[in-house]
Amino acid sequence: MNIKRWAALIAAIVLLIISIGVNTLMVIVKTNLFSGFDSFVELESQLTETVVEPGSFNERIALLTVDGVIQDVGSSTPWSAVGYDHQMFLASLEQILEDDTVKGVVLSVDSPGGGVIESAEIHKKLVQIKEEKGIPIYVSMGSMAASGGYYISAPADKIFAHRETITGSIGVIMQSYNYSELADKLGIEFETIKSGEHKDMFNGTRPATDEEKAMLQEMINESYEEFVDVVEQGRGMSEADVKKIADGRILSGSQAMRAGLVDELGSLEEAIQSLREDYGLEDAELFEYDRDFGTFTSLFMSKLGTIFGPSAEERMLTKLMSSYDSPRLMYLYGQN
């Protein structure tokens, strides 16, 4: 073998080694350093305030927004945003509790509802704000404020809705698929080893028994009564009056006003103006919260996320593999 061939062979080997090294480094960065940086981002991120309407800093109105399904699916990062950020919203409510300059809250709701627990967490914080701070809370409903969306609206001092707003849907739902007959037609058999008779109840591989349906119905009924109590207390209505419309039906904004679930028909701007006039806050600053990841994180690390972060395909696979759609109690309208 002549010198040129030896040189070419050596060059090929060097390139192979470099390629292996680079790929190994990329894997290490993605699996270790990059995942570790998510924790760093979470530590560095904090709530910031954006002024919507300038005014007195000593008397301020906080504008909060719930847009989307009320469910805790994780927090936003510089390279992956979530629709509704439950933990950020709870942090905003906690911040209001600690800020003596906040004299009123306007909550903008555009949601079909969501998880029973998440809805209850928001409701509890809103009631705490009213009781401990003694400040008014006004709600402005968007295109939809149904089920859990109404649950979190109920404690408000005044609720505004559009005529076309879809609201109501007071009730609880739990759903699952029963694909056992389809599996039989396809020749699929489920082999289940369980510790108790009901361990695989409502998982879709077999029909639920009457006894199991009764168990689940009892859970549903308990959460339903809790929902009714929330509306009773928030709207000053009797149990009988609430239950006249608490059969899961949806209502338009005008129907909800006639039923006592809504106070006025109007826009978000009208809700804000009403709060100002009703409580002498005409000169108050209007602001909203946002999550700040810091200048370094937002600018530089978003680029790093583009280079070393998971691809769109990897993110989709991760989401599919990590999602666990087991039946759960929901204050939710429109779930299929």
Q: Distances from the Cα of 222 to the Cαs of 164, 225, 226, in angstroms?
A: 31, 5, 6
Tokens of 265: 């028909």
C-alpha angle with apex 213: 210 to 215, nearest 5 degrees? 115
Q: Distances from the Cα of 112 to the Cαs of 119, 145, 196, 250, in angstroms?
A: 11, 6, 36, 11
Q: Determine the angle formed by the axes of helices 116-133 and 210-235, rounding to 10 degrees.
A: 20
Q: Under a CB-based contact definition with an 8 Å cutoff, are residues 86 and 71 in contact?
A: yes
Which position among 35, 180, 199, 267 bears the catalytic label? 199
The rounded distance, in Å, linking the Cα atoms of 110 and 65 is: 8
Residue 96 per-residue DSSP state: H
Q: Under a CB-based contact definition with an 8 Å cutoff, are residues 148 and 114 in contact?
A: yes
Query: Which of 309, 302, 286, 316 shows the shortest CA–CA distance to 45?
Result: 302
Give 202's Cβ-side CA count (13 Å radius): 16
The rounded distance, in Å, linking the Cα atoms of 165 and 250 is: 10
260 dihedral zone (left: phi>0; alpha: psi -120 to 50; beta)? left
Which position among 45, 147, 169, 274 bears the catalytic label? 147
199 is catalytic: yes
Enzyme catalytic residues? 147, 199
